[in-house]
Structure 1
Amino acid sequence: MQARPTADPDFQKMLAGYGLTTARILYRMPDHPAFLQTFQWQFADVAPDYPRLKQFLDHWKREIQAAIHSVEVMHRGLIAPHEIRMAREIGHLH
């Protein structure tokens, strides 16, 4: 029995609404509270809920002693609905 071809998992995530997300986190370390430091991270997430970002920020609050000053989020959907078209005919090359 031949395995049925499936779409690439990354492509399936794009169709599910995932997009490229960039989070810029400004934070202060306890030993140098006068300095703002930056952590920047790019990942795939779903706007507007951002479940992966929320999970990361929860981890930060639990495990890291640095206090978050602010979080800036930029998001770009990788595939918009108008970019997907069904092929009506596939030609053959001999």
Structure 2
Amino acid sequence: MERSETELMLKGYGLTTAEFYYRMPDHIHVLNTFIWQEYDLAPDHPKLFEFVEFWQREIEGPLHSVRFTHRKMISPGEWRNSVGEFYLN
């Protein structure tokens, strides 16, 4: 079962964005980039490292480097359920 983005954020996940620099298989001196985004857990980043392993195993273009950033957008302490109605005249 796939979880919603809000459920993931409440469980501590944050948005991880990675920029992969890789060499073109036919032109080894040419670098290209690929952008990847996924909700992941810091500081271990299991989904990011799973993707890096997939790349090394399945993609012909050898990796040159990877830059990434992680942004935790919401935490359990920041979320609260509000029940009620407000009327503005």
Per the TM superposition, whether the score is higher than 0.5 is yes
1:4 maps to none
Q: TM-score, normalised by structure 1?
A: 0.76
13-22 vs 73-82, which moves further: 73-82
2:62 maps to 67
Q: Which of the two has higher C-alpha Rg?
A: 1
- 1:25-82 CA distance string (max 9 Å, x none): 0000221111110001121111111111111111111111111010001110010355
2:50 maps to 55
Percent identity of paired positions between Structure 1 and Structure 2: 49
Select 1:13's aligned residue among 1, 8, 25: 8
Gaps of 5+ in 1: 1-7
User: How many residue pairs were aligned?
Assistant: 85
Q: Runs of at least 4 residues of structure 1 off by over 3 A?
A: 90-93
Gaps of 5+ in 2: none
The CA RMSD over aligned residues, in Å, is 2.2
Structure 2: how far apart are the matches of 1:15 and 1:81? 5
Please state which structure has a larger fraction of its residues in strand.
1
Map 1:5-44; keep pairs closer than 5 Å: 9-44=4-39
